[in-house]
Amino acid sequence: MRHFIALFACSLVMLHASANEPPPHAAKPEADAARKLAADIAKPASAKPVEKAEKGEKTAPTADKAAADKAAALAIARAADKTVNEKAAAGKEEKEGKPAKDADKPGKTSAAGADKAASSISAASEEDAEVDLSVRIAERLAEMRAKQAARVAAAAKAKKAADARRKKEAAAAAAVAIVAAAPKISNHWEYEGEFGPENWGRINPAWSQCGAGKRQSPIDIRDGMKVSLDEIDFNYRYSDYTEVDNGKTVQVNLARGNFMTIGNQSYELVQFHFHRPSEEKINGKGTEMVIHLEHRGPGGKLAIVAVLLERGKASEAIQTVWNNIPLEKNQQVASSEPLDPLELLPERREYYTYMGSQTTPPCTENVLWLVMKQPMTASPAQMALFSRLYPLNARPVQESEGRMVKESN
């Protein structure tokens, strides 16, 4: 803006000089005035701190621009000096009688030169402004691109972190699912629910035969082959014992010395216990309770005698057992009087026989079963007492899988 004001001021001075055609001695004051005006206008902001401070004007943005303004003002002043000198020379020649050379042209020439100089200065200033604007635009674009690149990089990093987190969470969920789907290994079993007979084979790998065995007990005894079977010789006697309520049944552990012989093989009576209802069925029919007398032979082979119990006359042997039931589960109680196991057996010794398994986990197979054909009796009160402890502690019947069943004829 200062360039245009200086140019305008110089133009006014030159036009005024051209119109009045002052004498040579008046040319110098006018040139001095033009130079002073141009210098004041072109003077940088830093040269007039007090005045600008008072008026609240802003200082020049850069030292380079102030220098360019000053150079423009000096160029205008030189052009004004030249014009004044030319006019003075022309007036002198006219007084001396010399024809003026293009008397009417000096003003026009001076004005044209000033316009040309001003135009050059304005063009240079505009070019500098355009260059400065281009530089600032380029810098701004570069800054925006850098910020955009930083945002893209941050988004990619966040996406990568999120993907890694999702993968980690998915792997953790898969691990949890695998653990949840894996079979539960436990030694706990029951007669109902999650830990009931249908799941025994999956609770513990050692109990796999409970689910996969082909010779499982109990079974529904049907169509037995009537043959002449060896008589069972029960060599039982009064014995001391310990009693325990193990949480599954009431069990009596006998002192050693009670044997059973069948054919040429002897088995020692180890313990007997009770189930309600009977696990064995004969032609689809069971009884209210059953006693299992468990024997062990050479090599730990098992032979189990099953005695079915019906309601009837009270059993003295069973009452002796009931009298000594412990107050706490899994508490061993020693007997106060001996017990004769023969009192648990029927008078007739005919039986059914087949090969089966234990009826509780681990459901070990290769067990010899001897099911007495004649049942024994217990009073309703005796049966009711046990039912209060264990209303249901019997494994359901298993598939016979084509096994041979023999019975005494």
Are 147 and 220 part of one and the same domain?
no
Are 78 and 223 part of one and the same domain?
no
Are 7 and 106 part of one and the same domain?
yes
Q: Which residues contact 58 (CB under 8 A, 6 or more apart)?
A: 45, 52
**Cα distance between residue 334 and residue 317, in whole Å:** 16
Are 220 and 143 part of one and the same domain?
no
Are 393 and 273 part of one and the same domain?
yes
**Cα distance between residue 197 and residue 211, in whole Å:** 9
End-to-end CA distance of the chain: 137
Are 261 and 349 part of one and the same domain?
yes
The pLDDT, as a whole number, for residue 72 is: 55
- Tokens encoding 368: 């010899």
The pLDDT, as a whole number, for residue 130 is: 87
Torsion of CA 77, 78, 79, 82, to 10 degrees: 120
- Residue 269 in contact with residue 233, Cβ under 8 Å? no
CATH of the domain at 79: 1.20.120
Q: Position 125: which residue type? A: S
Does the residue 285 lie in any domain?
A: yes
The pLDDT, as a whole number, for residue 282 is: 97
Candidates 285, 275, 263, 288; CA nearest to 368 is 263
**Cα distance between residue 94 and residue 331, in whole Å:** 152
Does the residue 175 lie in any domain?
A: no
**Cα distance between residue 265 and residue 248, in whole Å:** 31
Does the residue 183 lie in any domain?
A: no
Helices (H), 312-391: 316-323, 380-389
**Cα distance between residue 409 and residue 65, in whole Å:** 133
Are 281 and 402 part of one and the same domain?
yes
**Cα distance between residue 234 and residue 229, in whole Å:** 15
Are 266 and 355 part of one and the same domain?
yes
Instruction: Tell me the whole-structure pTM to 2 decimals.
Output: 0.59
Are 139 and 225 part of one and the same domain?
no
- Tokens encoding 286: 């069971």
**Cα distance between residue 252 and residue 237, in whole Å:** 15
3-state SS class at 109: helix
Q: Supply the DSSP string of 207-241, one letter for each residue.
A: GTHHHH-SS-S--EE-S-EEE-PPPEEEE---B-E
Work out the burial of residue 360: count CB atoms within 10 Å of its CB; fewer than 13 is exposed, 13-18 middle, 19 or more buried. Answer: buried
Domain boundary residue among 151, 180, 201? Answer: 151
Measured over the CA atoms of residue 344, residue 269, residue 353 and residue 274, the dihedral's sign is: positive
Does the residue 353 lie in any domain?
A: yes
Cβ atoms within 10 Å of 186's Cβ, excluding its own: 10
CATH of the domain at 285: 3.10.200.10
Does the residue 206 lie in any domain?
A: no
Candidates 51, 100, 70; CA nearest to 2 is 70
Average pLDDT per run of 10 along the chain, which is 409 residues long? 49 48 47 52 44 42 52 57 59 54 48 69 82 90 93 94 94 83 79 96 96 97 95 97 98 98 96 98 97 96 98 97 96 94 97 98 98 98 98 98 96
The pLDDT, as a whole number, for residue 185 is: 83
The pLDDT, as a whole number, for residue 52 is: 41
3-state SS class at 351: strand
Domain boundary residue among 151, 172, 187? Answer: 151
Does the residue 25 lie in any domain?
A: yes
Does the residue 163 lie in any domain?
A: no
3-state SS class at 313: coil
Domain boundary residue among 105, 130, 151? Answer: 151
Does the residue 199 lie in any domain?
A: no
- Tokens encoding 331: 């508490």
Are 127 and 35 part of one and the same domain?
yes
382 is in which domain, residue-wise? 215-408
Are 146 and 222 part of one and the same domain?
no
Are 246 and 389 part of one and the same domain?
yes
Domain count, the chain: 2
Candidates 181, 183, 65, 81; CA nearest to 127 is 65
Q: Which residues contact 39 (CB under 8 A, 6 or more apart)?
A: 73, 74, 77
